[in-house]
Copies of this chain bind each other. A is one copy, B any other.
């Protein structure tokens, strides 16, 4: 079994912290109860703590002595009475070895063990400040930013975990495309997806799945997932990914309820696919993420001009951010332990307050070992179209009669997860079909089974 490189993650964090002494001390999440109830919230480990410990259980802590490079794991003690209910836990040394630490103690001894290191300063996270009150603390934002920056660059172990998360989630998407039929409910598809992800070892959905048929896909954060696939002309947008080994996957596929796309749906889908492939082809070290967003907008504008949805001069369309009214979200985001992973806006980088761009979740130079989602989409959202119609510089470039023709498509999004490599990128989602012929072959298969 590969040991999760927690100790290396402490070292990487120290690199961004720029310190040569002191101790890092971080606490994991505790079990959280629902109010006035003995029911627990499903346990999710604090993401920063997972990165520094590889521990997915509640009640742990971890320390790292910067000058001696010693990593110390703190384990909650399980009483004999509790062990009757939960089973006999591993020993301290078994925990230490399993997580690649240099030493292990019980959490009741944190203050004594860390105190004995006589740290000049203790670095901790904002969410752990009160638990570390016994020590002289550095400003808590220091460690937070250093861990965030370290988490931006995935090592081989992390990439392999994310590859597996994507394999499991891709296979579940394929099963949905292969099994869904007109008359099913969105809830059945979401249930099938979650069931397959859990069955293959995922801990939970990486985020609230979206299964949106027809016009529901125009509700960008659609979470009801409870309507019937009652029209074979509709498309279904499925945005779902499992968390495996505490790393997220985030995949979207859009496919017809019937065996084939309608001509209108195919036309929109083809543009989104062009946008996505253009961006993935362009993703490479030293390029800027916001330029990927601009590239997707340009490809979209060209496609929507061909359809007649947009009219006029391409450069004027781009200058007036017209595409932002059809793709109101960003082209993608960093992904890792969190679905929307940390580090998208390094200190000093600001958001751009323009349609489509204000929701861009990252602005930075792409570098090897960053993992991004690439998720262009085109939507026909009534409220946004009304805003476009009321904005003359935008409305001049939109043919609202042609828009009506595509309105029932609702929305189309295609989303993959890619790792930036030395020469370009590696698509972790490559096994999840998105070419029109492949999607239609799967959908036809659903009706010929």
Known: A46-B36, A126-B36, A208-B40. A191 touches B196 (CB 8 A): yes
A42 within 8 Å of B (CB atoms): yes
Segment of A60-68, A84-92, A116-124, A282-290 engaged in the interface with chain B: A84-92
Q: How many angstroms from the CA of A32 to the CA of B125 in the assembled complex?
A: 19
Contact of A44 among B34, B193, B220 (CB under 8 A): B34
Q: This chain: how many copies in the complex?
A: 2
Report yes or no: A84 in contact with B381, Cβ–Cβ below 8 A.
yes
Q: Which residue of B is nearest A29, CB measured?
A: B35
**A80 / chain B contacts, CB cutoff of 8 Å:** 383
Segment of A7-15, A16-24, A271-279, A336-344 engaged in the interface with chain B: A336-344
Q: How many angstroms from the CA of A339 to the CA of B187 in the assembled complex?
A: 23
Interface size class, chain A:
35 or more
**A366 / chain B contacts, CB cutoff of 8 Å:** none
Report yes or no: B125 in contact with A84, Cβ–Cβ below 8 A.
no
Known: A191-B195, A194-B198, A200-B191. A342 touches B36 (CB 8 A): yes
Contact of A37 among B37, B47, B83, B85 (CB under 8 A): B47
Q: How many angstroms from the CA of A366 to the CA of B375 in the assembled complex?
A: 57
Contact of A84 among B41, B193, B220 (CB under 8 A): B220
A328 within 8 Å of B (CB atoms): yes
A190 within 8 Å of B (CB atoms): yes
Report yes or no: A127 in contact with B36, Cβ–Cβ below 8 A.
yes
**A48 / chain B contacts, CB cutoff of 8 Å:** 36
Q: Which residue of B is nearest A127, CB measured?
A: B35
Q: Which residue of B is nearest A359, CB measured?
A: B85
Using a CB-CB cutoff of 8 Å, which residues 194-236 of chain A contact chain B?
194-201, 207-208, 219-222, 226
Known: A191-B196, A198-B194, A199-B192. A339 touches B86 (CB 8 A): no
